[in-house]
Chain A
Amino acid sequence: MVRIRQWGWGLGIATVTAVTAFSVASWQANATPSAPPSTPAAAGGQARVSDPSPVPEAATGTGNDPLTTGEVDKARAIALTPQLAAEAQDVTGKAGPEYLAAELDVDGSRQAELYYYDYKTEKLFKQVVDLKTGKLAKSYSATGMQPPASPQEAKAALELLVADPAGAELKEAYRKATGKTLTGTDGIEPIAHIYTAKPADKGASQCGKSRCVQLIAKTADGHFINVTGVVVDLSGRTVAHLK
């Protein structure tokens, strides 16, 4: 028996004069269909995925589910201890820490990690709440750590900038972009990104220990104004030029 096999990609022709019984069997069992089946969706139109209707958010999550609104609310009530509420200060100077973020602790049972900033001590707090027991499981704090700003911090930074002589750059850019004069902070949506001083940076070396941001301003009609070279120190409530 002579079999001729050729692979379409040009590996060449192998001529076989003797084949083991096993090979023959597997060969004949598998080589017979002349038109290999092809799935209908692949042959024809666009492949589809399921499209489930949105369902109301569950009260609680399971496993790796994102923290639910209910879980975050519950965790915040537990995380904000009477001591923290009384002794810490938020970005506006009011009693109680600045609430920043809630994250799911991925490495254990279902726990919420809540992050707060205390402007009085310049400390970042991490409060770990066990969602099952409803208890504050762990609490940590440290200086020199600056996670992203809250919407309230972005707003406070914009107010500080507009009230400062350094805000002239923003006002001028606003006038150019919109043809209008900026009064107050209405008509601007601030986007804040945390600024941390690097060794070579000049002008705002306290940033990092202090909580500082740089601002991008978005006007009501969608223009972006990048306020370069200016840093707002939310801790010191000052505005600094970088150069």
Chain B
Amino acid sequence: MTYRMFTGAAAALITSAALAVTVPVAAHAAPAAATPCGAQAMVKETLPNGTTWQMCWRINDKAGLVLSNVFVSTKRYPEPVQVLDSIRLAQLNVPYDNGDTEYNDLTAIGMGGYGLETLTGDDCKGGSIRRGSDGGGQPEQRDVLCVSAENRGLAYRLHEEEWDDEKDEPKDTIYSQQGHDLVLRTVSRLGWYEYVTEYRLHDDGQISARLGATGDLAPTEYSVANNGWPIGKGAKDYATMHYHNAFWRVDFNIAGKGGEKVEQYDTATDGRGTMTAKLKTTKTAIAKEGTFSRVNQRWWRLVSPTSKNLDGHDRSYEVVTTGGDRYEGHPETKPDITFSQKNPCEKWASDNASDPECPLDIQTVVDFVKDKEKLSDPIAWVRVGFHHVPRDEDQSPMPMHWQGFELVPRDFTEMNPLTPDGRSGVNGNQYPDE
């Protein structure tokens, strides 16, 4: 929705100006992706497969960890290309099933400032703890960000058999490669609950955003059998079930061009072929703001209108989300994803009205899209819910439970960015004449 005058053109100008000003900061780095932040606020790491992620980080008093200006480059494609303008949490709504308690952890307490934990112990084992501002009203320099490189298991495997003409014998090549993630995480403690904000940047270009919850169950939240679960001896104390309704705000800026188009794809059965069902996949352009939910075989992507990979395909990222558990108690927690036109007044997915420069009645993602404005600079608001039914094992500390979603490159590069040299010719139909 439009209610504060920021034109796309003006924003673009400001961005390029900021980039120009800060080029010297990133100029030591080769290959250089101009990143508008100083060295202390920058994370730039190269994973074993040769993939380099570079971004700025900071702590916002409400959102906690904010990543901005996220660039990726790989050994095969060494030119850094921007993926995200920014990504951060946009709300964490925690209503209890008895209807008597509800928290909006971002906008009523805040993940940054005094809510942000100083990292210690095993918090960042094997990684590097980075010091920075905690984002509080009276900011303190603390050890708050953990940066680590973590194995993610097998990135790919391919057993290639071919005929060696010279030796006149079969030849086997096994391509087998471990993948790694660059992981950034912070911990916030809001009362007894502790939340881990985590972004995993995979060496194949995928980004996983997730929220972990640990700490302890609420000490005084007990109810009855139909909305609690007995913990402790016997069946006396029913720990109240509750939801963690998490929202993320994702702002793409593919190849620094912005202006992504939003597309929805649906697959449906369409008769039968000679052997089995025929399926038909159709694209729906999402040209205007709206809220959307998953059904079977539905997905979304954000497509650059101008940036193409070397195959001539539009670069895009797919939003892979299940929505998790859907909380029916609020209109804004029902849709899985909301696409809205970027607007500085739209900061929080619910309980949004906290800026006197902005209207009071624009409270939730549902309000953001009410006027169905044309999308020329889309923001994706991704909701993932987790219905927590307590169990005996939740005491104590509570085992970490996770909720999140993935951003997966689609045609961002013309091949797998981790393609080994031996497979570099395998792009497209290998036998076009057949």
Q: Which residues of A contact B (CB under 8 A)?
A: 1-9, 14, 16, 18, 20, 23, 26-27, 29-43, 46-52, 54-55, 57-58, 61-69, 72, 99-104, 106-109, 123-126, 138, 140-142, 144-148, 150-151, 173, 191-196, 216, 218, 223-226, 228-229, 242-243
Contacts and interface: CB of A to CB of B under 8 A. Distances in A.
Interface stretch (B151-159, B281-289, B397-405): B151-159
B279 to A, nearest CB: 19
Nearest to A26: B425
B49 A39 contact: yes
Nearest to A36: B420
A22 to B, nearest CB: 10
Contacts, number: 254
Contacts of B344: 106-107
B58 A65 contact: yes
Contacts of A141: 356
A38 B174 CA distance: 11
Contact of B14 (A65, A67, A109): A109
B128 A126 contact: no
B192 A69 contact: no
A49 B128 contact: yes
The main secondary structure of chain A at its interface with chain B is: loop
A62 B107 contact: no
A63 B49 CA distance: 30
Contacts of B113: 101, 148
B292 interface: no
Given A46-B126, A62-B21, A64-B56, 14 more contacts: A36-B421, A63-B25, A64-B37, A64-B41, A66-B133, A103-B60, A109-B14, A124-B356, A140-B355, A141-B356, A173-B220, A193-B108, A196-B108, A218-B191
A69 B138 CA distance: 7
A7 B160 contact: yes
The main secondary structure of chain B at its interface with chain A is: mixed
Contacts of B425: 26-27, 29-31
Interface string B398-434: 0000000000000000000000111111000011011
B139 interface: yes
Contacts of B372: none
A196 B219 CA distance: 22
Contacts of B127: 49
Given A42-B180, A64-B58, A23 B430 contact: yes
B45 A49 contact: yes
A50 B45 contact: yes
Interface residues of B, number: 103
A194 B171 contact: no
Contacts of B148: 49
Nearest to B59: A66
B110 interface: yes
B433 A18 contact: yes
A65 B157 contact: no
B103 interface: yes
Given A4-B161, A142-B356, A64 B177 contact: no
Nearest to A48: B149
B93 to A, nearest CB: 12
B243 to A, nearest CB: 16
Interface string B315-341: 000000000000000000000000000
Contact of B177 (A42, A69, A108): A42
Given A50-B45, A57-B141, A64-B56, A38 B177 contact: yes
Contacts of B190: 191, 193
B62 A47 contact: no
Interface string B209-242: 0000000101111000000000000000000000
A63 B36 contact: yes
A8 B158 CA distance: 5
Nearest to A23: B430
